[in-house]
């Protein structure tokens, strides 16, 4: 326990130095600390971590001036594969704030990416709700598919971003077919979700017209804080029965059409 406290103090110190260096506001710094308290520490004492996740995310959204507008079929408690377009590093946080029990797929050695903080980061990941898979060999894709199938059949819901990486501009990009193949082959329920940012705070792949805050997370956070408000429309589309489709590609194309149509036209429907 003493080691954990020491690690937390060291983490706070390095975050403070980083915040000063990149010129982020003290308000954002303290909200990061509050968020870490709920997600990394307090959530560890509860079997149902939903309340801690929501309370941990809200200070971050307050700092970034994020306002989430929710539409569509939100009340879905069935084991589901959620398919979402990808526009920012904030995407998963937004989905998690609405669906705190949803799981994400991550490589099994991700905590090693955080070096001396790997013990703390693993605790955060476990509280967040992740499903680990072995990465780095030819069987990685098979391991991901197996993880999706087994966990949804066990009653969990999983969120997938089929574009693989986030794209700040030019709408939806190429969808990778793997998650659709496992959904089709195992008759899993699929629910498309459309994310649409209404201000210029998207973040992702570099393009000729990208600004620095479209590429750098910390500059993006600063840009968010400078805006009056950053609205994000989140639309939950009707649940899809995958057995109604001819094959996985047919399913993928339909899901992409549904997400794209809402992204372009913003129907903002309520069910």
* Confidence at 50, pLDDT banded by 50, 70, 90: very high
* Higher per-residue confidence, 220 vs 131: 220
**Is pTM, for the whole model, over 0.75?**
yes
Rounded Cα distance between 35 and 263, Å, is 30
Per residue in 134-174, pLDDT (tens digit) is: 655 656 778 889 989 999 999 999 999 999 889 999 899 99
Q: Whole-number mean pLDDT of the chain?
A: 87
Per residue in 173-191, pLDDT (tens digit) is: 999 999 999 999 999 999 9
* Confidence at 5, pLDDT banded by 50, 70, 90: low
State residue 270's pLDDT score: 73
Task: Give just the sign of the alpha carbon dihedral 26, 28, 33, 37.
Answer: positive
User: Is the per-residue pLDDT at 10 higher than 70?
Assistant: no
- The fraction of the chain above a pLDDT of 70, given in percent, is 82
88: nearest Cα among 57, 103, 66: 66
Rounded Cα distance between 113 and 62, Å, is 28
**DSSP notation for 44-79:** GG-SS-HHHHHHHHHHHHHHHTEEEEEEE-----S-
Per residue in 118-135, pLDDT (tens digit) is: 555 677 888 999 887 765
Per residue in 66-106, pLDDT (tens digit) is: 999 999 999 999 999 999 999 999 999 999 999 999 999 87
Per residue in 234-251, pLDDT (tens digit) is: 999 999 999 999 999 999
User: Is the per-residue pLDDT at 52 higher than 50?
Assistant: yes
State residue 137's pLDDT score: 60
User: Is the per-residue pLDDT at 55 higher than 50?
Assistant: yes
* Confidence at 14, pLDDT banded by 50, 70, 90: low
User: Is the per-residue pLDDT at 263 higher than 50?
Assistant: yes
User: Is the per-residue pLDDT at 113 higher than 70?
Assistant: no
220: nearest Cα among 112, 91, 83, 114: 91
Residue 105 contacts residue 160 (beta carbons within 8 Å): yes
State residue 119's pLDDT score: 55
* Confidence at 2, pLDDT banded by 50, 70, 90: very low
């Amino acid at each position: 326990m003493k080691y954990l406290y020491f690690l937390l103090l060291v983490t706070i110190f390095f975050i403070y130095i980083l915040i000063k260096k990149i010129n982020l506001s003290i308000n954002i710094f303290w909200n990061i600390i509050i968020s870490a308290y709920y997600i990394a520490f307090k959530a560890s004492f509860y079997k149902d971590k939903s309340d801690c996740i929501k309370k941990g995310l809200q200070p971050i959204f307050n700092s970034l001036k994020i306002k989430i507008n929710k539409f569509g079929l939100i009340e879905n408690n069935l084991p589901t594969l959620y398919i979402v377009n990808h526009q920012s590093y904030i995407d998963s946080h937004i989905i998690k704030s609405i669906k705190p029990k949803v799981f994400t797929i991550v490589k099994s050695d991700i905590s090693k990416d955080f070096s001396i903080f790997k013990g703390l980061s693993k605790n955060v990941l476990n509280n967040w709700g992740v499903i680990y898979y072995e990465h780095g060999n030819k069987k990685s894709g098979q391991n991901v598919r197996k993880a999706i199938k087994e966990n949804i059949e066990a009653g969990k819901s999983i969120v997938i971003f089929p574009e693989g990486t986030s794209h700040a501009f030019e709408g939806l990009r190429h969808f990778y077919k793997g998650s659709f193949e496992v959904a089709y082959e195992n008759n899993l329920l699929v629910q498309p979700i459309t994310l649409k940012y209404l201000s210029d705070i998207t973040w992702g792949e570099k393009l000729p017209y990208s600004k620095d805050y479209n590429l750098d997370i910390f500059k993006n956070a600063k840009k968010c804080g400078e805006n009056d408000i950053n609205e994000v429309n989140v639309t939950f589309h009707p649940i899809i029965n995958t057995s109604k489709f001819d094959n996985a590609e047919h399913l993928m194309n339909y899901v992409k059409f549904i997400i794209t149509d809402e992204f372009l036209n913003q129907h903002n429907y309520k069910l």
